[in-house]
Amino acid sequence: MIHLSQPQVAKRYQPVIWVGIFASFVLLGHTTTTEKPYKSISHSLKTSHLGDPSQAIQDLVVPYGYPLEEHFVTTEDGYILRMYRIPHAPSSKAQQQGHRKQAHGTSRRYLHDKLDGLTELLSGSRGEQPQQRLPVLLQHGLLDSCAGFLLSGPGQALALLLADAGYDVWLANTRGNTQSRNHTQLSTWSAQFWAFSFDEMARYDLPAELDYIAAKTAQEQVHYIGHSQGTTILLAALASQPELNNRIKLAVLLAPVAFPKHISSVPLLALATMNTDLVFGLLGIHEFMPSQRVVSYLEGKLCTAEPQLCVNILSAISGYNYSNVNGTRLPLYLQFTPAGTSVQNLAHWAQAVRRAAPNTLVHFDWGTDCAIRKGRSAMCNQIKYGAPDPPLYNLNAIQTPLALFSGGHDRLADPLDVEFLLESLKEGVVTNEVIIHEYEHLDFIWGLSAKQLVYEPIIQLLSQSDAS
């Protein structure tokens, strides 16, 4: 008899486990809705590119004539984060070439410049050097990647609209998602690689990205736009590292999440009721919902064959207004989402949902058991923080101007929780608040009306901030 170690078992059966989880989400999201089913069509992204994260992002940007750069940022604790940069809008010539190449389906030509550790991916020739533009850093949400800001395409996607408006656009990817799965020492099959939550994203990832952008652009300040967990990362970073407040000129928070006390996402509520990290740890799994090729392929095929199942999956987890999403693009969206995170990060969110004390953003709770056991090193709050309880993030210490956009039907950023967030911030910090009553969580990145209701007002706010 062949005996497999726990990591070998996890590696062999992980696809089967995730198929079961997807099936569970379908059942959890199943309703007797009378909503009109979505019509499915094929999309241009090749399935063969799903195993190449860089190529997949190129396919969302370069065919339309936009310049694209790929950058790698190493954090203080050794994680290597992949960032993309769209430094400016297409020139008219590059845009025409991009559209022509896409229409004829011919292969694209890229220029590769590996100076200073970056790979520059450009469609066509370099042309004129773009003038200096103010950087805008985009940070995606939980289980997402930077693709969320690109999937709607030219004229609709936030990242491309910002480039059209003259901004130097930087797209971040949190540690552990499909775009950022490297470390200077650790393998992704190591449990240590996945020992992180949004605490580390706030402490290490965001400061490293800001330093990198400043080094490349010679600009100390950036605008920041975050969605969902991307807002949490910013709030935690500004609250715990006061020096960062001067690095961000204006922060725009889409579907902001700080106190998930009143969420109505059935799958996430289910995860909160169980000891998430313990259950998955027993299975030898430390990564949550990886969007690996097999999973992405499954989702894409599922949405193509049964679009209503995609509706159930997405509605169960995050929620969106079905009448505000282009249903024909759902197979494309599901090839990039979920993009994975750590089980510890999900456990952190589960702790936040269960937490008895209201209106508090708290570091990860390692518990009070400091005993060393076989198979794990000692870790508890006393060792980690020097106290029996995890420390709070002091949101009242935030000084950066904030603009909040929230939805009236958001099941993850519940309107009541958003109100509690507003009350926790210092008076005058929130310069603008916009509530879109019909919006749910994913409408802010996939919504057909997002350009008019969200993105154009954001660009106007950035322009006003630039002028001040």
Question: Which residues participate in catalysis according to the annotation?
Answer: 228, 410, 441
Residue 190 amino acid letter: S
Give CA–CA dist 454/191, Å, rounded.
Answer: 39
Q: How far apart are CA 419 and CA 38, in angstroms?
A: 34
Q: Which helix (H) or strand (E) holds 358?
A: none
Q: Which residue has the tokens 């998955």?
A: 280
Helices 293-305 and 307-317, axial angle in degrees (round to 10): 120
State both tokens at 407: 């939805």
Kindly calculate the radius of gyration of the chain based on its CA atoms and give it in whole angstroms.
Answer: 21
What is the helix (H) or strand (E) element at residue 276, kind and residue range?
A: helix 276-282
Contacting residues for 373 by C-beta, under 8 A, at least 6 apart: none
Q: What are phi and psi of 338, to 5 degrees?
A: -80, 150
Residue tagged 């589960």 (tokens) = 350
* 113 SS3 class: coil
CA atoms within 13 A on the CB side of 453: 19
Strands 182-183 and 341-342: unpaired
For residue 266, give Cα distances in angstroms to 27, 128, 318, 337: 11, 52, 9, 18
What does the CA dihedral 448, 421, 173, 115 come to, rounded to 10 degrees?
110
Q: Are 89 and 164 in contact (CB under 8 A)?
A: yes
Amino acid identity at 454: V
Helices (H), 120-205: 158-164, 198-200
| Residues linked to residue 170 through DSSP beta bridges, in sequence order | 85, 137
Tokens of 302: 């599922």
Measured CA to CA, the distance from residue 435 to residue 429 in angstroms comes to: 17
C-alpha to C-alpha distance for 441 and 186, rounded to whole angstroms: 34
Are the CB atoms for 464 and 431 separated by under 8 Å? no
Residue 220 structure tokens: 């100390």
H helices present in 62-147, as ranges:
92-104
